[in-house]
Amino acid sequence: MAKQLHVELVAVEEKVWTGEADMVMARTTEGELGVMPGHLPLLGQLAEPGKVRIKRAGGEEIVYDVSGGFLSVTGTGVTILAEDASPATPEPSSH
């Protein structure tokens, strides 16, 4: 089985989502960031407004709208500390 990232998305008031993922993507003040297992440790400031995309095994993608906060990558996984996080509304299809 492929290695997974342990991901925690935490807002000021509550833990929003926690689980295993293949990849996490977020927009930071330095640009778009994709994190996969084995990524070097880093700390990034989330851009506002922003989205966090969590890609799970099997192709499922979970998307949250976030505002404020930080993304921390360590040897054990990814923690997103946001001032506010809520499930994103689906974007209209471009078809």
| Res 89: pLDDT | 82
pTM of the predicted protein model:
0.89
Q: Domains (ranges, CATH) in the chain?
A: 5-34+44-87 (2.60.15.10)
Q: Which of 89, 74, 88, 86 is nearest to 13 (CA)?
A: 86
Question: Does 26 have pLDDT greater than 80?
Answer: yes
| Dihedral of alpha carbons 71, 75, 59, 14, sign | negative
Tens digits of per-residue pLDDT, 1-25? 458 999 999 998 899 999 999 999 9
